[in-house]
Amino acid sequence: MITKKEYASRRSGLINMMEPNSIAIVASAPVRVRSKDTFYPYKQDTTFSYLSGFPEPQSVLVLIPSRSQGQFVIFCQEKDQMREIWDGFLYGPSGACDHFEADDAFPITDIDDILPGMLEGKDRVYYGIGKDTEFDNRLMGWVNEIRARRRRGAIPPGEFIDIDHFVNEMRLIKTSVELKIMKNAAAITASAHRRAMRVVRPGMYEYQLQAEIEHEFLYQGATCPAYTTIVGGGKNSCVLHYIKNQDLLVDGDLVLVDAGCEYYNYCADITRTFPVNGRFTRPQASIYEVVLEAQAEAIKSIAPGKPYNTANNVTIKTITQGLVDLGILSGDVDDLIGRGSYRDFYMHQSGHWLGMDVHDVGDYRLDQIWRDYEAGMVVTVEPGIYIAPDNLSVEEKWRGISVRIEDNVVLTRDGCEHLNENVPKCRVEIEKLMI
């Protein structure tokens, strides 16, 4: 769990990057309607959560460097005994101070009276425009109120600066505490994948396998899935973001499982592909070995100081060579890569940042140049080969075979290391577990 000390350090880090006479404003995520009068489970805005840990909707976080009454302010819902009977506990302004170390806190109902005064006279506002149109409009309404009083000496903010540019860079480098949480998320996810391998059988429905995975998540203490679980059997595995999970798992098919849990606001993201009946066919094994080699080579290529796209370039080369060796592609490997011939079979990047969001924040390029890896970054490594069932350019034995293997790695000073362990990916180990 993130400590109060670490939250305070994050806020101090951001405040130190802010220009003098400025203010930072972060709104909580809105509550999302599921249908009529029911709602999706609430998920706090990750920037808000990163800076405070405060979990409630209808809240606003404000940072004001050098404010005499305290730099960290929260607006939030008031305590309401009757409402809490229906909807659960609320911290209220006093709880925001006592439990989250806000220097000052006010009822959210008073924000129209108080926040414009905090904005007035500031040179710059740090704010993430475009996330919440309703709050964007509300903020601009306060600014326009100040502008309307210019003749009476009011001074409106002169510049808006994207707060996410600064916070995202902070989030990109994980602390030791964050990495410990992410290792726990990965361990729970690994356990769920092992469970899936042990229980899968022909005649089971995809959603039943999904239920086994998500049962393990919750039983082990995860909050929820980090994203919609993908369980794609047979031809469904060829759909990269398949989430219907409604079909039967068929004897002789592979099943691709892309699943990760969320644990204390941090995500894991692991993919395994394995045979429904516990035994790979020769064509399935051949494709699987190419993907496995591509992942191994990609992971070996990841180290501080190397450009982010290194792993993807290695992945493309290994996969293209493997497809040539199998007779699925023909020609010179470099020429095939130059023409993009591999894209019919491998159409995504080799990975992405991982953290509080499953596709986590942080720029991949700086000044149009691929940024270098740095110690503390966490990235997925997920090569794949996807051969559509209607791809008539390949022999019939290859059609409908799709394989993706995904692990989570953290950059160290010397290279990288796995966050997730004990999830079989060697074919022999998979088949042994599935006996």
Whether 193 is catalytic is no
Whether 359 is catalytic is yes
Could you give the strand order of the β-sheet that contains 416-418, starting from the edge strand earlier in sequence?
378-381, 407-411, 416-418
CB 321 within 8 A of CB 433: no
CB 241 within 8 A of CB 231: no
Distance set, CA 318 to CA 238, 281, 322, 334, 342 (Å) = 20, 22, 6, 11, 11
CB 129 within 8 A of CB 162: yes
Q: Which of 113, 134, 151, 241 is catalytic?
A: 241
Q: Which of 171, 193, 352, 407 is catalytic?
A: 352
Q: Which of 178, 216, 382, 407 is catalytic?
A: 382
Q: Which of 37, 367, 390, 414 is catalytic?
A: 37
Whether 165 is catalytic is no
Tokens for 139?
Answer: 């903020």
Q: Which of 10, 171, 193, 404 is catalytic?
A: 404
Contacts of 429 (CB under 8 A, 6+ apart): none
| DSSP H helices in 200-242 | 206-219
Contacts of 396 (CB under 8 A, 6+ apart): none
Distance set, CA 100 to CA 44, 46, 281 (Å) = 15, 16, 56
Q: Quick one: how far is CA 274 from the chain centroid?
A: 24
Whether 227 is catalytic is no
Whether 99 is catalytic is no
Whether 241 is catalytic is yes
Residues 106 and 118: their CA atoms lie apart, in Å, by 13
Q: Which of 253, 258, 262, 357 is catalytic?
A: 258
Q: Which of 34, 147, 343, 359 is catalytic?
A: 359
Q: Which of 50, 126, 342, 386 is catalytic?
A: 386
CB 267 within 8 A of CB 361: no
Q: Which of 104, 253, 269, 407 is catalytic?
A: 269
Whether 6 is catalytic is no
- Residue 358: closest CA among 422, 272, 263: 263
Active site residues: 37, 241, 258, 269, 348, 352, 359, 382, 386, 404, 406
